[in-house]
Chain A
Amino acid sequence: MAEENVTFTLPDLGEGLVEATVLEWQVSVGDVVERNAPLVEVETTKSAVVIPSPQAGRIVELHAEEDQAVPVGDPLVTFAVQGRAPQAGIVGRVPTEEARPARRVRLKPPAD
């Protein structure tokens, strides 16, 4: 089972904000986190927000110190994610069971 490093950048928090300040990390390097677990508490000029983890994985790097301002789109955290062996005929990464959205677009009409 290979591990793959995936970096999550500070998402657009809306309201035209261009950066946020890290208040407190809720995870440490080495932690294994579940998807949607609290990841980091940040403050914008308008409110304080807890950003949930976008995926499950092990934390390998935090890219900002507490009290540091991070521009939207800059690296926030890097996860090591359990990868899968490449499978023939599939381009890109296969999402894990958990990360799969509940509703998917049907590519073919039902054969009835």
Chain B
Amino acid sequence: MSANLVGDVTMRYVDLRPQSPADAVPVLLLHGFGTNFGMNWEAAGWPRFLGAEGLRVIGPDLRGHGASEKPLDDASYLPEHFVSDIIALLDELGVDEVDAVGYSMGSRLAWELALTRPGRVRRLVLGGFGPADAFEGTDLSAPGQGATPFDHVFRTVAGLPGNDPAALAACARGQAARPFSPKPPVTQPTLLVTGAADEIAAGAGELAAAVGGSHVEVPRRDHVNAVSSRVFKQSVVDFLTSQG
């Protein structure tokens, strides 16, 4: 089902197979910048793949994205506000603990969730993510105008149906205001999965090593097309369903 959580910012989410076995930890899927649950995860075949394992899937459209509300001020997009949205959603659903699976910006937020609310995250998967500054060299007063990798990403997503470029620009600035740091490290078991040709996720292997986690590289894939790969999905299922 899909529903809306009404808070300071209204958030659309899906909750698939909420009746899954009580001892199974639900999977929280956090999409990347400029996409939404449907485009990042559903179209790429994730709910079906996880459903075949009987796993419950919780997938929000993050604030500023999809069918959720899109505030226009930068401060609304600080990582801690995304974390608050997610905690409010888990509380609403009565879910104590999830396995958090992110892609790109969603991984940055999954990390923030795992770091600041460690009791709510059992295992952590960071897809399409590395410790490098995603916004390096970008003039965030006018994202999409330059020639950096992020400018390119911004131009691609700004024109997608339903996206508001002004909200996305504010989101980029909010995210950039809290540069990612691998320290302090997360304490949960962590898996990183990146396309072998994903330049945006450079350094993922080092980050995995720094947190005592593992790193799977998907051959021949880049930042856009790694997300739908079977190798990625199978790695995640193996990681989430392993014992111990």
| Interface window among A41-49, A71-79, A80-88 | A41-49
A49 touches B230 (CB 8 A): no
Query: Contacting B229 at CB < 8 Å: which of A41, A46, A47?
Result: A41
Kindly list chain A residues whose C-beta atoms are within 8 Å of the C-beta of B229.
Answer: 23-24, 41, 48
Cα of A110 to Cα of B49 in the assembled complex, Å: 42
Query: Contacting A15 at CB < 8 Å: which of B35, B161, B225, B226?
Result: B161
- Chain B: which residue is nearest A42 at the CB level? B228
Binary interface profile of B, 148-163, with partner A (CB < 8 Å = 1, else 0)? 0000000011001100
How many A residues face the partner with a CB closer than 8 A?
16
Q: Is B6 an interface residue (CB 8 A)?
A: no
Cα of A38 to Cα of B35 in the assembled complex, Å: 22
Q: A38-B45, A38-B48 are in contact. Are A49 and B228 (CB under 8 A)?
A: yes
Binary interface profile of A, 32-45, with partner B (CB < 8 Å = 1, else 0)? 00001010010101
A46 touches B45 (CB 8 A): no
Binary interface profile of B, 38-55, with partner A (CB < 8 Å = 1, else 0)? 011001110011000000
Kindly list chain A residues whose C-beta atoms are within 8 Å of the C-beta of B35.
Answer: 47
B44 touches A23 (CB 8 A): no
Q: A38-B45, A38-B48 are in contact. Are A48 and B227 (CB under 8 A)?
A: yes
A15 touches B228 (CB 8 A): no
Q: Is B224 an interface residue (CB 8 A)?
A: yes
Kindly list chain A residues whose C-beta atoms are within 8 Å of the C-beta of B226.
Answer: 48
B44 touches A50 (CB 8 A): yes
Kindly list chain B residues whose C-beta atoms are within 8 Å of the C-beta of A46.
Answer: 156-157, 160, 224
Q: Is A96 an interface residue (CB 8 A)?
A: no
Cα of A23 to Cα of B228 in the assembled complex, Å: 9
Kindly list chain A residues whose C-beta atoms are within 8 Å of the C-beta of B49.
Answer: 38
In A8-38, which residues have CB < 8 Å from any B CB?
14-15, 23-24, 26, 36, 38
Kindly list chain B residues whose C-beta atoms are within 8 Å of the C-beta of A47.
Answer: 35, 39-40, 43-44, 224
Q: What is the count of residue pairs linking A and B with beta-carbon distances less than 8 angstroms? A: 49
Smallest CB separation, A22 vs chain B (Å): 11
DSSP majority for the A interface? strand
Cα of A17 to Cα of B183 in the assembled complex, Å: 42
Binary interface profile of B, 78-103, with partner A (CB < 8 Å = 1, else 0)? 00000000000000000000000000
Kindly list chain A residues whose C-beta atoms are within 8 Å of the C-beta of B48.
Answer: 36, 38, 52
Smallest CB separation, A71 vs chain B (Å): 19
Query: Contacting B228 at CB < 8 Å: which of A36, A45, A50, A52?
Result: A50
Cα of A43 to Cα of B226 in the assembled complex, Å: 10
B160 touches A41 (CB 8 A): no
Cα of A48 to Cα of B128 in the assembled complex, Å: 13
Q: A26-B230, A38-B48 are in contact. Are A50 and B225 (CB under 8 A)?
A: no
Q: A residues bordering B, Cβ < 8 Å?
A: 14-15, 23-24, 26, 36, 38, 41, 43, 45-50, 52
Q: B residues bordering A, Cβ < 8 Å?
A: 35, 39-40, 43-45, 48-49, 156-157, 160-161, 221, 224-230
Given contacts A23-B228, A49-B228, 7 further A-B pairs with CB under 8 A are A14-B161, A26-B230, A41-B229, A43-B228, A46-B157, A47-B43, A48-B227
Between A and B, 13 residue pairs with Cβ closer than 8 Å are A23-B225, A23-B229, A36-B48, A41-B45, A41-B229, A46-B157, A46-B224, A49-B43, A49-B44, A49-B228, A50-B44, A50-B45, A52-B45
